[in-house]
Amino acid sequence: MATPSYAGRMAALLDEERPFALVTVIRAREVAGYVPGQKLIVTDCGTVEGDLPPGAVREAIAAAAQAAIAGEHIQLARFTSAGAPLPARGGSLRQAEQREGAVVEVSIQPHLPQEHLIIAGAGHIGEPLAQIAKVLGYRVTVVDDRAHFANRERFPDADRVIAAGFAETMAQLRLHMRTYIVLVTRGHEHDEAILEQIISSPAPYIGMIGSKRRVLVVFERLVAEGIPDEKLHRVYAPIGLDIGARWPEEIALAIMAEIVNLRRGGGAPSLSLRAQRATDH
């Protein structure tokens, strides 16, 4: 078990919604400074804290922990005294020790925040979008600067409903590798203000509703304001998978389908101009 200091640090990271992995040494043979029970906390951005001595083995373990965070899976990993990865142990422990010599074996357990959907815009698409996201198990935050739209009566199942300015609110929200952001606001001026706040965030998905013309106008204005065009290539716009959606409920379905498609590595076609804009520059 983690010592109280580790437990406290883990609790703080969970409270901050920071993805991290807890590494525990479960076997160490002929590697100086390594004993079973030692621990390491590795965050998604590469911060490392713990008992393991510095060197090639610790660096290799930290890299494996970051990969486990990205892959979202618990794993066992094995390394030589030089930090080289070893294949999964085969046969008995005695046979492995006779064959391999010096080795460090660790368990890597990612701790990830709940997937979080932030909906900027509480209009006719935001309502069904929040409902579908909750069915899929996402934590949902709805933001709009109009209190008569952003309220509990319209979004009874959302985890948070915030009636405040878009840019100011987005600047205060915690954005991480499991945050998905959907812009369904009523005007491009709001989209521009939000994108300025979040374009460099670690969120893997930023989607913006609008016609191709509106999308390109927003991007042109942001580039003119100094945002590098290559950063805007990450925005999914127009938003959603190409399912022929017409009504708000169908558009909401197409948006969540695109998010799931990205998260699961699917191959369904998006409406996004990302690929086209990337080849045009």
Q: Report long-range pairs for 262-271 (Cβ below 8 Å, ≥24 apart).
A: 262/204, 262/205, 263/115, 263/204, 263/205, 268/241, 268/242, 269/241, 269/242, 270/236, 270/240, 270/241, 270/242, 271/238, 271/239, 271/240, 271/241, 271/242
Q: What is the pLDDT of residue 97?
A: 57
Q: What is the mean pLDDT of residues 233-246?
A: 93
Q: How many other CB atoms sit within 10 Å of the CB of residue 29? A: 15
- pLDDT tens digits for 81-94? 999 999 887 655 55
Q: What is the pLDDT of residue 45?
A: 84
Q: What is the pLDDT of residue 94?
A: 58
Comparison of pLDDT for 149 and 5, the residue scoring more: 149
Token pair of 93 as six digits = 């422990």
188-198 vs 212-224: helix crossing angle, rounded to 10: 50
| Closest of 164, 280, 263 to residue 207, by C-alpha | 263
Q: What is the pLDDT of residue 100?
A: 63
Separation CA 240–CA 261 (nearest Å): 10
Token pair of 168 as six digits = 């100011």
Q: In terms of pTM, does the model score above 0.75?
A: yes
Separation CA 254–CA 270 (nearest Å): 9
2 — pLDDT class (breaks 50, 70, 90): very low
Query: What's the longest Cα–Cα distance across the chain?
Result: 71
| Closest of 131, 124, 125, 155 to residue 239, by C-alpha | 125
Q: Which residue has the tokens 């393991």?
A: 52
Q: Which domains are present in the chain?
A: 4-111 (no CATH), 116-279 (3.40.50.720)
Asked if 58 and 81 count as a contact pair (C-beta separation under 8 A), the reply is: no
Q: What is the mean pLDDT of residues 240-255?
A: 95
Q: What is the pLDDT of residue 1?
A: 42
Least confident of 1-5, 13-17, 72-76, 134-138: 1-5
